[in-house]
Amino acid sequence: MRTFSSYGPISVKTNYFAPREELVDQIYRDLIGVEEGGGHYITIWAPRQTGKTWALMQVADRIFEEKEFDLLMINVEILKDSENSQSVLQGFVHILSDYLDISSFEITKWIELADIFTDKFFKKPVILIIDEFDALDEKVINKFASVFRSIYNKIRSRSGGGASYMLHGLALIGIRSVLGIENVKGSPFNVQRSVHIPNLTYDEVNAMFHSYIQESGQKIDQDVVDRLFTETYGQPGLVSWFGELLTEKFNRNKNKSITMEEWGETYKRALFTEPNNTILNLISKASHPKYKGNVLELYRTDEKTDFSFRKVEHNYLYMNGIISYDDQKKIRFSSPFVQKCLFERFSDEIFDYVGVTMDPFTDLSGTVTESALNIPKIIDLYCLYLKKNSGWLFQDAPRRKDMQIFEAAYHFNLYRYLFDFLKTWNSQIFPEFPTGNGKIDLLIRHGGRLYALELKSYRNTAAYRKALVAAARYGDQLNLDTIYLLFFVERIDEANRQKFEVDYKDQKAEVTVQVIFVVTRP
């Protein structure tokens, strides 16, 4: 029986996969030039672990079987640590020597590289696929691109100067981040077509798990598949990873259906205890001092940020699987799961110690019981905690360029405070991000009940009113009769507190929104 795999390119014989036939056909047509009579030079780009290499392997198999072209598919990641461009050139020629008899062909200059792709060494038109191309230094990439551009232009030259060149089609995998985007001098490779590898669709993910159900005979509740897609946004590596965890590692009884209970336990393990190279890598990238501020700014709740590939920071975060963008070209995190992983990471990093959450002799009889929480009273205790500890608590918190503390730091702190405050009662506290950006909720399960706290920064009365309605709608989605809307504000006088800190009852949603202001500068 097949299995789910998230480690490198999958096997169509042994792993569950989405055929992606339309995408494979598109790349095939571009490389061999079915429509226009000549092959194209293309770039295959997408964040990590999205199936770029796998898609090109399917194309390569198809081209190889038809035997009309000479096919070279090589990986140049091994050259990324070469000392200089000359050593990369020699290393590339050495890789080619595994395919061609070029031992007597001496190449000392980059311009001579083009001579390899001539009828001296090839009898058929050549399709060249280079994987991990973006692992190379940008200057080296530009040298390669210049050579390939020169060949392309000569082949298509009316003067016939490229008659001996055999490089019919070229695919460079994963180079969007360095070719024509970060290069301030402009791209030397403006002849290429660009092919983006998207995430899996809902139907593709659903089909993968239904294939497992048919082959194994074990049922998976549809709610589990739906939630998996929602949490991963169809990111291929994460989809297969969760599939592996659900159907193998934590699948203790294959005679029993995989339900939302199993999903909840698996998700918790994935979030906290299960290592995953893709997640570890993106956490490392997001923590880079040059880009960390950009990531923290994405947790702000008042406005969204316009996305642009031409911004180095956006490009870097996108290509490393940290962010994506919505239909309005606004930045969002690449998936809710990634957003939660980073929220946990930064919460632990910034507030690994939150101090004493309350006086140990505080009477909590009307605040916390085994069966119920009084959220307003808990937040009152949190406000007292802020007032008492603000002198040191945010001393090392990350700050924006204007030296103001990132809004996210307050959300991280409240989360860590509630986690420590309620751990005696074994309450479950977890962040949720329903929109991918601009909305942060803390959900608490305690005594068999669910409590929802929506976190916002107070900006103005118009945004305040919109937040009330949105909170009521969200509470209705959660089947709650009460939801708590917390506004973080630097200061508020008593008159405004009396005016704005009032309950809002939404008649349409039949939900009460309890408003609480949290002063960040006591």
Note whether 354 and 361 are within 8 A (CB).
Answer: no
Q: Which residues pair with 443 in a beta bridge?
A: 430, 452
Burial zone of 344 (CB within 10 Å; 0-12 exposed, 13-18 middle, 19+ buried): middle
3-39: pLDDT as tens digits? 999 887 889 899 999 999 999 999 999 999 865 556 8
In angstroms, the CA 318 to CA 51 distance is 16
Query: Which residue has 């590289």 as its token pair?
Result: 113
Domain boundary among 171, 196, 221: 196
What is the tally of structural domains in the chain?
3
Q: What does the longest C-alpha to C-alpha distance in the chain come to?
A: 91
Helices 222-232 and 236-244, axial angle in degrees (round to 10) = 140
Structure tokens, 39: 């092959």
pLDDT in the model for residue 272: 92
In angstroms, the CA 331 to CA 453 distance is 24
Q: Which residues pair with 15 in a beta bridge?
A: 3
Judgement on whether residues 37 and 171 belong to the same structural domain of the protein: yes
Judgement on whether residues 268 and 316 belong to the same structural domain of the protein: no
* Chain center to CA of 310: 19
In a domain, 1, yes or no: no
Q: Which residues pair with 442 in a beta bridge?
A: 431, 453
Residue 34: CA count within 13 A, CB half-sphere: 7
**CA angle, residues 232, 233, 238, in degrees to nearest 5:** 35
In a domain, 13, yes or no: no
pLDDT in the model for residue 209: 98
pLDDT in the model for residue 186: 44
Judgement on whether residues 127 and 183 belong to the same structural domain of the protein: yes
CA-based end-to-end distance of the chain: 61
In a domain, 6, yes or no: no
User: By residue range, what is the domain housing residue 86?
Assistant: 21-196
Note whether 349 and 296 are within 8 A (CB).
Answer: no
DSSP conformational letter for 346:
H
Note whether 453 and 441 are within 8 A (CB).
Answer: yes
Helix (H) or strand (E) holding 380: helix 375-393
pLDDT in the model for residue 258: 97
- In this prediction, the residues of the chain whose per-residue pLDDT falls under 70 are 34-38, 104, 158-163, 175-192, 435-438, 522
Q: Give me the sheet containing 428-432, strands edge to edge.
A: 428-432, 440-446, 449-457, 482-489, 511-519, 504-506
Residue 437: count of CB within 10 angstroms of its CB = 21
Judgement on whether residues 289 and 426 belong to the same structural domain of the protein: yes
Amino acid (1-letter code) at residue 73: M
Judgement on whether residues 366 and 422 belong to the same structural domain of the protein: yes
pLDDT in the model for residue 395: 87
pLDDT in the model for residue 436: 60
Note whether 191 and 149 are within 8 A (CB).
Answer: yes
Note whether 208 and 16 are within 8 A (CB).
Answer: yes
In a domain, 4, yes or no: no
Q: What's the Rg (C-alpha) of the chain?
A: 28
229-282: pLDDT as tens digits? 999 999 999 999 999 999 999 998 999 999 999 999 999 999 999 989 989 999
Judgement on whether residues 260 and 285 belong to the same structural domain of the protein: no
Judgement on whether residues 51 and 90 belong to the same structural domain of the protein: yes
Q: Where are the alpha helices (DSSP H) in 52-127?
A: 52-66, 85-96
Positive or negative, the CA dihedral 53, 55, 57, 60 is negative
In angstroms, the CA 163 to CA 145 distance is 20
Domain boundary among 251, 274, 297: 274
Per residue, the 3-state secondary structure of 197-222, as one string, reads: CCCCCHHHHHHHHHHHHHHHCCCECH
232-259 residues labelled b (16+ CB within 10 A) or e (exposed): bbbbbbbbbbbbbbbbeebbeeeeeebe
In a domain, 487, yes or no: yes
Judgement on whether residues 29 and 178 belong to the same structural domain of the protein: yes
Domain boundary among 180, 196, 212: 196
In angstroms, the CA 373 to CA 369 distance is 6
In a domain, 7, yes or no: no
Judgement on whether residues 50 and 166 belong to the same structural domain of the protein: yes
Judgement on whether residues 454 and 310 belong to the same structural domain of the protein: yes
Judgement on whether residues 140 and 286 belong to the same structural domain of the protein: no
Helices 260-272 and 222-232, axial angle in degrees (round to 10) = 30
Judgement on whether residues 419 and 515 belong to the same structural domain of the protein: yes
